[in-house]
Amino acid sequence: MSKAGVVNLLDLPPLQVTGWLQTFDTVISDCDATLWHDDVAIPGAADVLNLLQRRFGKRVYLITNNGTKTRQEIFERSQRLGFELASEAQIISPTSTIVNYLRQSDKFDGKKQRVYVVGNAAIERELSGAGIESFGAGKPEQLDIKWQDFVEREFSTPTAAVDVGAVVVGWDEHYSYCKMARACHILTANPDCAFLTTNKDAVHKYPAYHIPGTGAFVAGIEACAEREALEMGKPNPLVLEPLLKGSALDVKRTLMVGDCLKIDVSFARNCGMQSLLVGTGSYQLETLHALQADSSASNPLVPDVYLPKLGDLLPYI
Ligand SMILES: [Mg+2]
């Protein structure tokens, strides 16, 4: 497909769409705003992925940057909403990527070291399921003392950071000065400590308001610790490494489906996969045309193909 413009699959002759379906063996699909909105499935999305598996033998993986649920919890949601997946191994989530990363790290010793989590309880559950001890998730740091007393009490002994092998940042409704302080202290006291984040999506946009995402939290800690967090979500191609190592997919024969240009199409480009952008999130065809007309970049992000919604593929399968 041409990268010069945005190709709407609905504008192509049916035979050409059928031919395009033969260009990939594996589909990796984003979840939020591509397959579902919260707990409501987007019409036709499950039918398309189920039929691509059943009729054409395609391999299907779901991928998300949502770090507020474990991989098992995302798998359970997919089952409730009608997606036919054999097991949670078909889900790629930041929490499971974090576990994979720590297990394979030469510097992290899960028997002796703990993880400090600035984030929600799902990260703790995923780590705990893998036998990795963590602390800090899902609750505020000490609130009953002044911050000066907190710093004096918590950081004045050498043991405050010594057994912490990783700081993990995720979406955290209890984010605070004291959490930033502890993360900063650990990361600067121990240069070998891993610094991971579920994703760097800085803002969650809704029609009526924009609110901070994980990227905003992690940026504050990066600034004070003077270290850069490693992203355990899209668009970092590292996320695909477990599948690539297991030869589960060939990126040249893999289609990435998503609703977000900066995250999903960028991820496809970083990994060498082709991309299908769906209009059930923030980007519709008109938005893409406007962005292209405005863009001064020499190599602007453009999906290979576009559909108003994934379910529009049904007539071709
Ligand atoms: Mg999405």
pLDDT of 76 higher than 50: yes
Q: Over the stretch 200-221, which tens digit does the pLDDT of each residue have? A: 999 988 889 999 999 999 999 9
For position 297, what pLDDT does the model report? 62
DSSP 301: -
| Binding-site annotation, residues for Mg(2+) | 30, 32, 259
For position 3, what pLDDT does the model report? 43
Residues 218/197, Cβ–Cβ less than 8 Å: yes
Q: Over the stretch 254-308, which tens digit does the pLDDT of each residue have? A: 999 999 999 999 999 999 999 999 999 988 988 888 887 776 666 678 999 999 9
Q: Over the stretch 160-185, which tens digit does the pLDDT of each residue have? A: 888 999 999 999 999 999 999 999 99
pLDDT of 31 higher than 50: yes
At 237, which amino acid appears?
A: P
For position 161, what pLDDT does the model report? 85
| Binding-site annotation, residues for substrate | 204, 234
Residues 164/191, Cβ–Cβ less than 8 Å: no
Handedness of CA 305, 306, 310, 316 (dihedral sign): negative
Question: What distance in angstroms lies between residue 34's CA and the mean position of ligand 1's atoms?
Answer: 6
| Binding-site annotation, residues | 30, 32, 204, 234, 259
Question: What distance in angstroms lies between residue 29's CA and the mean position of ligand 1's atoms?
Answer: 9
Distant-in-sequence, close-in-space partners of 58: CB < 8 Å, separation ≥ 6: 24, 25, 26, 27, 52
For position 205, what pLDDT does the model report? 81
pTM for this structure? 0.90
- How would residue 1 be classed by pLDDT, with cut points 50, 70 and 90? very low
Question: What distance in angstroms lies between residue 36's CA and the mean position of ligand 1's atoms?
Answer: 9
Question: What distance in angstroms lies between residue 64's CA and the mean position of ligand 1's atoms?
Answer: 7
Question: What distance in angstroms lies between residue 148's CA and the mean position of ligand 1's atoms?
Answer: 41
pLDDT of 90 higher than 50: yes
Per-residue pLDDT averaged across 57-86, rounded?
A: 96
- Residue 58 to residue 21: CA distance in whole angstroms: 10
Q: Is 52 helix (H, G, I), strand (E, B) or coil?
A: helix
Residues bordering ligand 1, an ion, CB closer than 5 Å: 30, 32-33, 259
pLDDT of 98 higher than 50: yes
For position 266, what pLDDT does the model report? 96
For position 299, what pLDDT does the model report? 66
**38 given a catalytic annotation:** no
Go through the domains of the chain in sequence order and give each one's CATH number.
7-65+239-316 (3.40.50.1000), 107-231 (3.40.50.1000)
**312 given a catalytic annotation:** no
- How would residue 92 be classed by pLDDT, with cut points 50, 70 and 90? very high
- How would residue 247 be classed by pLDDT, with cut points 50, 70 and 90? confident
